[in-house]
Amino acid sequence: MQTATEAAEALRAGIDLLDVKDPARGSLGQPDPAQLQAVLDTRDRIARATPVSVALGEFSDWTDASSLESASVLSRVAYAKLGLADMAGRRDWRLQWERLRNQIEVNANEAPGWVAVIYADWAIAGSPAPDEIVAAAAETGCAGVLIDTFCKHRGRLLEHFSPADLCLLSVQVRDAGMFFAVAGQLQSGDLPQLAQVPLDVIAVRSAVCEGGNRQSRFSLSRMESFREAMRRAFAGVGAHDVSGDHHIHSSHGVVSAE
């Protein structure tokens, strides 16, 4: 969600999880504090129980202490994501990642649940390898792991990871006691393949935006179509939480809308 107006539409449609980001700033584009505040106020007014997650950009975006001053609003979010692009070459990336998270928590007064982000195109992103991130996430108390794409012009999730690959990753994540979320330009046509994977969250943005463009406005009709496609794809499948950047709920899980 980019704006309070979009958030209001999605909340009234009954989504289960709302993700706030600025897609113009990248895969994990951090929203302005005022933008996040407005979405949270809208959530409190319409559906207070709906959890909100927020993208906090990449580790390398947090270059000065002023960024921490806006962290107080994070006491109102359930989950926060902090990416690791360009960190693969740093031997101390795990220590620095955890240290920054701790600093953010102090300024937030109440810690959000951290979601580690694996980039399916991790070599392009310069991010640590998936196995390294899963291990670090488990050891530093993350609530979940999201796999997403870094470069939106270099392939969708299922062009980088097969359903079998995702199953193996899901087992690693869930065996460590964390939830497993997927994103990366997912479309309704991907749902039959994703139904083969033990998922907790499916995160979508482009699929539920006008014209299928992630930087366009949220579309209620496209969200409803995606929800129906998910119901069909997951019919007879054990319950999953399926989420996305716009979160959509079905009897088989939660879809998160970004």
Q: What CATH number should be reported for the domain holding residue 191?
A: 3.20.20.110
* Of the candidates 130, 182, 180, 120, the residue with the CA atom closest to the CA atom of residue 151: 120
SS3 105: helix
Neighbouring-strand partners of residue 254: 249
Asked if 197 and 167 count as a contact pair (C-beta separation under 8 A), the reply is: yes
Q: Which domain holds residue 35?
A: 4-257
What mean pLDDT is predicted for residues 19-32? 89
How many structural domains compose the chain? 1
Name the DSSP class of 32: P
- Per-residue model confidence as pLDDT tens digits over 37-96: 999 999 999 998 999 999 999 998 887 655 666 677 888 999 999 999 999 989 999 999
**Residue 109 pLDDT class (50, 70, 90 cuts):** confident
Interior/surface letters 127-144, b for 16+ CB within 10 angstroms, e for the rest: bbebebbbbbbbeeebbb
